[in-house]
Amino acid sequence: MPALGLHAAWPYVAAAYVVFLVLVVAYVAIVASKITRLERRLDGRDAGHGAAGRP
């Protein structure tokens, strides 16, 4: 199978970059949601102890 020329291959290269970008954005969104959920959980746990427990 011969290699594609530059003019024939650019749509595939562009599609690969788009897929990679979508995967990176999805990963960042998932990690951000987990961090937000963890912060809320920790804030709820700290709220029960009052301000005296904080340094």
pLDDT of residue 45: 76
User: Tens of pLDDT along 15-43?
Assistant: 999 999 999 999 999 999 999 999 999 98
- For the chain, the structural domain boundaries read 13-40
What's this model's pTM, rounded to 2 decimal places? Answer: 0.66
Residue 39's H or E segment, with its range, is: helix 6-47
Higher pLDDT, residue 39 or 46 = 39
Rounded Cα distance, 21 and 7, in Å: 22
